[in-house]
Structure 1
Amino acid sequence: MARIFCIPGIVFLFCALVLSFLASISLPYLPALDIVRVKFPTSALVADAITELRYGIWTVCSYDENESRTCLKTGYAYEMSVKSAASSQPVTIGKSWTRGLVVNPIATGVTLIALLLSLSQNMLVTLLASMASFLAGVLHLISFFIQIALFARIKDKMKSLDVEANTKPGPGFWLVFVSLILTFLAGCTVFFGRRRDQARTRGANLTPVTPSEKTGFFSRFRK
């Protein structure tokens, strides 16, 4: 592959892999890399003295006034209900809204495959690397849309608690967004690098024609 395209493509895929992998670990192992955060004012605490909720890919964790963390042991497709003192009905984020978060770890695996394929100089393998990069980008795009839907759902539900909850995307949300951009950039650079190699190969295979004698109009009169 043309070196000017090869190295950036590999770097893009490596960075996307690292960011996507960290986002996939998420809660409860990396508390700082959650998808959605909900903070409650101290003057209007919800039930059980919860001051903050952090939604990750595998679970949701709650924090109290002392920054003590409690995480649900639910794993894939979890469900969380919370109730405030001002509201008689609890709000619940069901499994249907968290089940799709598993797409991000799948996208991470495809990104790893694309990175390994991009290390090869074989033309066919680089074509597969480009296709794998675009597939990883599509999966990251789907994962990002799922997280946007989860964020919108949580924000809408927390408004019904009447406690002025502040809902915002977490760091893991933005890591997935950056991974999405990097995988598409990598797919483009790998693809263009392959096209440039094809052009060079075709140019090298062409044999220049050097006529041994000029064949003009007056050459026919020469002896």
Structure 2
Amino acid sequence: MSRKYFLIGACCLGIALFLSLISSISLPYLPALDYARVKFSVALSNGAGGVKGAQADFRWGIWGACAYDTDGKRTCEFLGHGYESGFIDPTGQIVLIAGSWTRGLAIHPVVTAVIAIAVGLAVAKWEHGTLAATLTSALAALMLLIAFAIDIALFAFVHHQVGKLKEVNGNVNAGTAFWFTLVELVLCIIGAVMVLIGRRSDSGGDAYPMFSNQSGGFLSRFKK
């Protein structure tokens, strides 16, 4: 039975590791994975040459922000850790997303490393590996909670800044990587609990040796 719990926990951690890994690569290297996105009803300049087309779609990842025109052509002008991005509305008003709001996204690659350690400990044959895996998974869950709070902060700030634009109808949504973070958090919690239950089940038979039938123990003294 303990092996079943270990397998469930290891699978949950493995899936969380995969999702965290691809989310850490994110935009602009994986176009489908972004943390926040906004779609405008009119073309806007992104402060670095503009976007052509009747609509403009802007997306934010860990390592950069990209703009898409109506033909799906992508332009990524803001690259690097803690990048700054912004828009210019038809009236000429400039709205910026400061680097301080995107810098915190770098916690995701760190979380990926922690989850990888937890997976390694969960499948290791080390005597105290399962306990270490449980603690590491709990640490990863805590870091994911912080990361999710950072993602929410970025999403909320983008929504706030887009609301300042005039003569523009902007629709702000959470990106795919945003929801991946929430899934990773749940999986890490489940993984930590399953590994812990598996460890307790595995050691349950030896937890109270004085009541064991094999060794006789204290109760054997009353047997006739």
TM-score normalised by structure 2 residue count: 0.88
2:17 & 2:222 partners in 1: Cα distance?
58
User: Displacement of 1:168 after TM fit?
Assistant: 0.3
Query: Would the alpha carbon gap of residues 49 and 213 (structure 1) be closer, same or farther in structure 2, given more than 3 Å must change?
Result: closer
What does residue 46 of structure 1 align with? 44
Provide the aligned C-alpha RMSD in A: 1.9
Range with greater deviation from structure 2 (62-71 or 12-21): 62-71
2:169 & 2:57 partners in 1: Cα distance?
12
**2:16 match: secondary structure:** helix
Aligned letter for 2:178? F
What does residue 141 of structure 1 align with? 145
User: Displacement of 1:201 after TM fit?
Assistant: 2.3
Aligned letter for 1:142? I
Alignment of structure 1 residues 113-128 onto 2, 5 Å: 113-128=117-132
Instruction: Name the larger-Rg structure.
Output: 1
CA contact (8 A) 1:114 1:129 kept: yes
Structure 2 unaligned runs (5+)? none
Aligned letter for 2:2? A
What does residue 72 of structure 1 align with? 77
1:75 & 1:114 partners in 2: Cα distance?
28
User: Displacement of 1:204 after TM fit?
Assistant: 6.1
**1:166 match: secondary structure:** strand
2:97 is the alignment partner of 1:97:
no
User: Displacement of 1:203 after TM fit?
Assistant: 5.0
CA contact (8 A) 2:117 2:136 kept: yes
Aligned-residue sequence identity (percent) comes to 38
Query: Would the alpha carbon gap of residues 53 and 212 (structure 1) be closer, same or farther in structure 2, given more than 3 Å must change?
Result: closer
User: Displacement of 1:121 after TM fit?
Assistant: 4.0
Structure 1 unaligned runs (5+)? 215-223
**1:26 match: secondary structure:** helix
Query: Would the alpha carbon gap of residues 107 and 213 (structure 1) be closer, same or farther in structure 2, given more than 3 Å must change?
Result: closer
- Pick from 165, 171, 183: which aligns with 2:188? 183
**How many residue pairs are counted as aligned between the two chains?**
211
User: Displacement of 1:73 after TM fit?
Assistant: 4.9
1:76-107 CA-to-partner distances (Å, cap 9, x unmatched) read 10100210113x32100001101100111110
TM-score normalised by structure 1 residue count: 0.88
CA contact (8 A) 2:78 2:84 kept: no
